[in-house]
Amino acid sequence: MLGIPLPKKTTTLVKAIKEVEYTNGDLLISEAKKLQEQTDSLSKHLSDYYMAKGEFLKYYTYEKMEAFESFYKTLEAMECYSLMAEIDLLTTYFHYTYNAFDKAAKKVKRSEEYCFKPSLELEREALIYGISPTVLVNTPQEKKEEITYTLERITRKYPWSIYHSRIASSLAITYYYSGEYETAKTILLETIEKNKALSFNLELSRNYTLLSVVESQLSGDFEKYIAYELLSADYKKEYGNQYLSINYRTIGHRYFNKELYEDAFKYYQLAVESEGSDIASKSVDYAYLGWAYFHIDKKKNAPKAMEYYNKGLTYNNENHIGYKLILERKMWTLDAIGEKEKAAAMKVKVLEARANVENKSSKKRFEDFKINYLLSLKSKNNRLEKLQQKSELNAVQIERQRFAIIALVVFTLLMLVILMLSYKNAKNYKTIKKLNVKLKESITTIETRNEELTQKNEENLKLLEINQRSLFTKTFKVSTYKDAIDNVVKEISNALEEDTSMSAKQLRGVKTQLKTILNEDEIWQDFKLQFERTRPSFFKKLLDISPNLSVNDLKHCAYISLNLKTKEVATLINISPRSVETARYRLKRKLNLGTEDNLSEFLNKL
């Protein structure tokens, strides 16, 4: 169940925990406490782990998350990799929720050390496809097909679980950001039905939040949007999760945008009163609460609105976005009631607060993503599956060969016994002795062959492990690069909203940020490393022939040796097919080849 041997009674108790862990946090904690009654240390460790998990999923705060994650080293010592994957998946999703991308990246990178074990296929797929919806935004059709295939495959192979739910949600979001709202809705409704069957209340809360957004784009039905968001809050309550402020705040925004200020005030107040609202969130909610109250009656409600703003300021510091939101609304309120001088004085603080928040946000985003870069837009997960199938096939073939060898040895020994019984007299003793020598030689040959096969199998397994690690690293780089580019685009959009003309200094700043992300030398070194695994001396031989070959020349030679067509090479390096032909002509000259020599044949002989 957990990938480690458990006592019989502990197995029964863990099974009971598994049935309720995503249904109700209080039930999870209650079942986990029963493990404390067992005398062995393993049961006590598991009890503490599941109680911490229940507390984390109920309250969803940094303090509870850190307590939950503190069991990681203990689980690692126990070699309980499935629960380690649980920690990485749940805490990484938590960090993405709070935009702490640097911490999320470390968790994903950490999981690379263990998640390629054969028994962790389901967890690995969830770590690749089910962590961050933002990874999948605006992806090509190939990515949607890849995730769909993965979801269908694991659904056939494993019973429905939280891992399936997370991957399905990511797939729905992919379709949502591609504008295919009907498909996104269909996926979410199917996911909801499956989660309802297992009473996955916490997952149902996430599903209905996503469904409210999809329905809003699909039909624009305001009542449905509110109903789905309230269902999300209800399922959180059913689980025992206290973090309801985000649901109520979202509903408040919708009512405010429709100028239904009293309804907006009602839900902003619920957000403030929510037990699970952390200190930083309360400051944001008080900003919206005061602003909604002011709009109910601008002539009478300004003093009370100011009280709400001042209350919110007690919950945060100057670097938090809540501080900026409150100062902005104080300034707008003062200006609306005719307090122009106070509004002007407040504007200075607002500009300082905006600068603090925006500078911190910009710096943080690029620190989060500067070590990651997109290496490929093509799917790599199918390659992993093929390598696994190939490894399994090799293992079957080796097993068959070993069986044949054993059969041959048995047959040879049997023949030897028959010969020894048939030729007992002294005349045939020498013959029998010779046969015995041949038999020993055959056995030696068989043992040598067996060692060779074993060595070959080990090499295949090492190659598989290298490719698996490379795949996971590249998949993660794919996921983080898209966020980095989106953030640059968002910065440009924000700048344009504030001022439609961008200065040369701003453009140079954007250029510098993009160059930080787009490191051509890193791309070339990674490509060279991967290529030389199959052609170790290819580039060295080329440079021995013509030391003046440029990096672009070496790339072009590699593409030709891979038998890529002219149009394919043109697409890869973003030039015209005619320019590709010209480049090949210049290559032949640099390599001292005649017009009648075939460049492709020459390169393939190196």
Q: What is the DSSP letter of 563?
A: T
CB atoms within 10 A of CB 451: 10
Contact 477, 108 (CB under 8 A): no
pLDDT tens-place string over residues 446-455: 888 878 887 8
| Cα–Cα distance, 580 to 381 (Å, whole number) | 31
Q: What angle do CA 86, 136, 252 make, to 5 degrees?
A: 85
| In the chain, % of residues over pLDDT 90 | 25
pLDDT for position 190: 96
Q: In terms of residues, how long is the chain?
A: 606
| Cα–Cα distance, 551 to 175 (Å, whole number) | 39
pLDDT band, very low/low/confident/very high, at 62 (cuts 50, 70, 90): confident
Q: b vs e for 173-201, b when ≥16 Cβ sit within 10 Å of the residue's Cβ?
A: bbbbebeebebbbebbeebbebbeebbbb
3-class DSSP state of 323: helix
| Cα–Cα distance, 121 to 514 (Å, whole number) | 36
Positive/negative CA dihedral, 455, 456, 457, 462: positive
Contact 243, 277 (CB under 8 A): yes
Residues 6 or more apart whose CB falls under 8 angstroms from that of 498 comprise: none
pLDDT band, very low/low/confident/very high, at 431 (cuts 50, 70, 90): confident
> Average pLDDT, whole number, for the chain?
80
User: Which of 68-82, 341-355, 473-487, 542-556 is the least confident region?
Assistant: 473-487
Pick from 152-166, 279-293, 363-377, 388-402 the range whose average pLDDT is largest. 152-166
pLDDT for position 457: 73
What is the average pLDDT across 467-473? 51
pLDDT for position 302: 92
Question: Given a cut of 90, is residue 229 above it in pLDDT?
Answer: yes
Token output for 589: 């000259």
pLDDT band, very low/low/confident/very high, at 361 (cuts 50, 70, 90): very low
- Residue 171 identity (one-letter amino acid): L
pLDDT for position 332: 93
User: Which of 345-354, 366-375, 398-407, 575-584 is the least confident region?
Assistant: 366-375
| Cα–Cα distance, 423 to 439 (Å, whole number) | 17
pLDDT tens-place string over residues 97-154: 776 777 877 877 788 778 777 788 888 888 878 765 444 544 556 678 888 888 898 8
pLDDT tens-place string over residues 531-565: 888 788 888 999 999 999 988 889 889 888 888 88
> Looking up tokens 């060969």, which residue turns up?
401
pLDDT for position 159: 93
Contact 359, 425 (CB under 8 A): no
> Looking up tokens 């996926």, which residue turns up?
187
pLDDT tens-place string over residues 434-446: 777 887 887 888 8
pLDDT band, very low/low/confident/very high, at 373 (cuts 50, 70, 90): very low
pTM above 0.85, yes or no: no
Contact 593, 566 (CB under 8 A): no
3-class DSSP state of 291: helix
pLDDT tens-place string over residues 71-83: 999 988 888 888 9
Terminal Cα distance for the chain, rounded: 52
Rg (CA), the chain: 32
Q: Which residue, among 304, 296, 357, has the nearest Cα to 328 in the 3D structure?
A: 357
pLDDT for position 477: 55
| Cα–Cα distance, 130 to 73 (Å, whole number) | 24
> Looking up tokens 């056939």, which residue turns up?
156
What is the average pLDDT across 396-424? 71
| Cα–Cα distance, 499 to 509 (Å, whole number) | 16
pLDDT for position 182: 95
| In the chain, % of residues over pLDDT 70 | 78
pLDDT for position 134: 46
Q: b vs e for 499-537, b when ≥16 Cβ sit within 10 Å of the residue's Cβ?
A: eeeeeeeeeeeeeebeeebeeeeeeeebeeeebeeeeee
